[in-house]
Every structure is written in C-alpha cells, then in structure tokens.
C-alpha cells in the first residue's frame, strides 16, 4: 500500500494523473490536495469521486501547518506535485501570486516531506512536475535536453525554475528522494480556456475573434495530456532518484499553423464550410517577453524508461475539439463569473 499525495489534482493535467492512478492502482490511496483556485474544478473528477482509494482535500500548499498535518494524518510516502499557478499571461499581470504558490508552496511541501519522513527515505519519493519553459527560448534549431541551462523569461517560468532549484537543493542538502520532469505544452480535455487551444476552440465555436499574439510565428511542442500522465506514471515508478526527465512529443507547430488546424477541425465538426472561421484570425500586440520556440528532446525518457507519445497530433486535436463540443456545460461553468472579467482585461 502506498499513500500518495497528488497536489493540483483538480486542475487540467492533475485530473488526468489522479484518474490514471485511482483507476490503475486500487492498492494505492490517492489523496488529491487542491485549493480549487479558478483553475481547479472537481467536475473534472466526477467519474472517480466515489472510489474507495480516493480522497479529496481542499487546502492551500502554502498553508504549512495544514500540509504538515496531512502528511502525518494520511501517512504520505509519495508526492506528485502539480499544484501551481500555470498561465504565463496571468504571471505578467500578477507575478507575486506565482512566487507565492510556485516557490513558497513547493518549499512548504518539501519541508513537510522532510519533517514527516525524518531521514528515513526508504520507499519515499517527492516527484516535482515542471515545465520546459524553465530552459528559456530556442532559435530555429536545437532542442532542450536535461542538461540545458536554465534561462527563464516570464514570471511563470522564473517561479517554476526557482521551485525546481529548491527541489534539487533538498536532494543535494538533505538527500530527500526526488525526481523532476520538465514537459512541453499539453493539450486535451479539461484544459482551462485561457490557454491557446481551448481558448481558440471556444472562440471559434462562438464566432469570436482569435487573438494571435505578434505574427503567430512562435513555435510550441504539443503533447496530448494523457501521454503526459502516462509519462508521469512511468517516472514515478521507475525514475532514477535525483534525476530529471524531459517529456515532449517531437511535435512542433507554429502557432498560426496550429490555429488553422483548429479552425479546420471545429468547422468540420460543426458542419460549417471549410475555412469559414479563418476570418476570425486577429493579430494583436505580442506578449511581453514572448519566448520564440520550445522543443523538447525526450530521448532520455524513451531510451531509459521506454516512454513514447501514443497519439498523432491531428487525432489528438480532433478528440480534444470533440470533447469541448460535447461538454458545453463544463465550458459554460468555467467561463462564467471571474473568467469574463479576466477576458475583458486581457483581450478587450
């Protein structure tokens, strides 16, 4: 039996990780700890909420006292840490909340693990989920590898870089058993419609302008969220202590080309004329500090642990668009209230 604390399990990636672990490992107790910020949504986990190996706790990772008590109450021996403020544009408007959650929150968890495990690290693991954005920006050529120097440019990536450094520092200083993975951009069901793909699917459906930053030439390396969850499962069980693994799909797209695929897919599934929604493309002011290109070399993960992405991009995009079309209620719920204010401030 293992008691595994998954933080941020009500968010986009976290909910896919929680579902995978709860369904596949009935012998594990999965404790999902989430503060339910604007990005956290228990609707994402409706299908597993009644399972006997699943517990949800609403708590803030920055609440050090509560985090310590959760480690002892649930006898936590494994942590998969996903809770974070995750959107670059929000970090530009409010960097403090990113430093608080991503840096201080991670530190609270590390120290709580250190306190509870008291130097007995047998069968213990602190697994920190991070991003490729810590490596900065690439030109036309090359890939990020596990040894690429950190060079973050946004408050989001700076806060994630800082949290990665704290995790490694706990390993080097106190021998805390850690592993870190840095993943490229994810897409799939349940992603909050502030990120490019769900925002644009929603806008195409509603005939709203598609705000393309700059010239739309920036490049991202897209990975289907369930492939990320499977990589996390493998690294959690087989990753080498103290090591870092890059996760990516070898799937680079210029934003504008990806947007045209989204338009084509939504138009097709809604029975609109091909390309009918291209008129919605609207070039807007570029994002400040906009990283040009991200591209991950995930060959270490493939060679050492045997992970590979399973889904072709066009297939993944079609499934994703289909999910958003079939889950109008979910979209309606998350885009009411606070989202309207965010959208106005950001885009109008």
What residues are annotated to the active site?
A: 132-133, 156
* Cβ atoms 264, 270 nearer than 8 A: no
* Cβ atoms 25, 31 nearer than 8 A: no
Cβ 261 to ligand NAD, closest distance in Å? Answer: 18
Cβ 251 to ligand TYD, closest distance in Å? Answer: 13
CA-to-CA distance for 116 and 65, rounded, in angstroms?
Answer: 12
Residues that bind ligand NAD (CB under 6 A): 7-8, 10-14, 34-37, 39-40, 60-62, 82-86, 101, 105, 129, 131, 160, 183, 185-186, 192
* Cβ atoms 252, 179 nearer than 8 A: no
Q: Which does 218 bind (CB under 5 to 8 A by kind): ligand TYD, ligand NAD, none?
A: ligand TYD
Side by side, which strands form the sheet with 252-254? 185-187, 219-224, 252-254
Cβ 278 to ligand NAD, closest distance in Å? Answer: 26
CA-to-CA distance for 313 and 249, rounded, in angstroms?
Answer: 9
Which uninterrupted H or E stretch holds 230? helix 225-238
* For ligand NAD, the closer CB: 39 or 280: 39
With CB atoms as reference, the residue minimizing the distance to ligand NAD is 11
* For ligand NAD, the closer CB: 188 or 267: 188
CA-to-CA distance for 238 and 218, rounded, in angstroms?
Answer: 34
Residues that bind ligand TYD (CB under 6 A): 88, 185, 195-196, 199, 211-213, 218, 220, 255, 287
* For ligand NAD, the closer CB: 83 or 167: 83
Q: Which does 186 bind (CB under 5 to 8 A by kind): ligand NAD, ligand TYD, none?
A: ligand NAD
Q: Which does 212 bind (CB under 5 to 8 A by kind): ligand TYD, ligand NAD, none?
A: ligand TYD
CA-to-CA distance for 179 and 8, rounded, in angstroms?
Answer: 17
What does the block give as tokens for 113? 């693990």
Q: Which does 17 bind (CB under 5 to 8 A by kind): ligand TYD, ligand NAD, none?
A: none
Cβ 292 to ligand NAD, closest distance in Å? Answer: 17
* Cα four-point dihedral sign 277, 195, 218, 227: negative
Cβ 1 to ligand NAD, closest distance in Å? Answer: 25
What does the block give as tokens for 337? 């209230």
């Amino acid at each position: 039996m293992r008691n595994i604390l998954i933080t941020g399990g009500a968010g986009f990636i976290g909910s896919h990780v929680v579902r995978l672990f709860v369904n596949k490992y009935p012998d594990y107790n999965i404790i999902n700890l989430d503060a339910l910020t604007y990005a956290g949504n228990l609707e994402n986990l409706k299908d597993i909420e009644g399972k006997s190996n699943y517990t949800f706790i609403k708590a803030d990772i920055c609440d050090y006292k509560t985090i310590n008590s959760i480690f002892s109450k649930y006898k936590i021996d494994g942590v998969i840490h996903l809770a974070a403020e995750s959107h670059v544009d929000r970090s530009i408007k409010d960097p403090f909340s990113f430093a608080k959650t991503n840096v201080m929150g991670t530190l609270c968890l590390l120290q709580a693990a250190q306190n509870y495990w008291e130097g007995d690290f047998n069968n213990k693991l602190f697994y920190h989920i991070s991003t490729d954005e810590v490596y900065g920006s690439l030109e036309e050529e090359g890939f990020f590898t596990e040894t690429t120097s950190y060079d973050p440019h946004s408050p989001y990536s700076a806060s994630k870089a800082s949290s990665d450094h704290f995790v490694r520092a706990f390993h080097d200083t106190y021998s805390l058993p850690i592993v870190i993975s840095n993943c490229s951009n994810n897409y799939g069901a349940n992603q909050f419609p502030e990120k490019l793909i769900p925002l644009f699917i929603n806008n195409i459906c509603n005939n709203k302008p598609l705000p393309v930053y700059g010239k739309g030439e920036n490049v991202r390396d897209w990975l289907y969220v369930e492939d990320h969850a499977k990589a996390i499962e493998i690294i959690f069980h087989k990753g080498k202590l103290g090591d870092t693994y890059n996760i990516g799909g070898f799937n680079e797209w210029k934003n504008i080309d990806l947007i045209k695929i989204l338009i084509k897919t939504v138009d097709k599934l809604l029975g609109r004329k091909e390309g009918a929604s291209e008129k919605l493309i609207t070039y807007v002011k570029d994002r400040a500090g906009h990283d040009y290109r991200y591209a991950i070399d995930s060959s270490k993960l493939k060679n050492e642990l045997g992970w590979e992405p399973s889904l072709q991009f066009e297939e993944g995009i079609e499934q994703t668009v289909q999910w958003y079309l079939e889950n109008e209620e979910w979209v309606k719920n998350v885009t009411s209230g606070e989202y309207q204010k965010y959208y106005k401030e950001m885009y109008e």
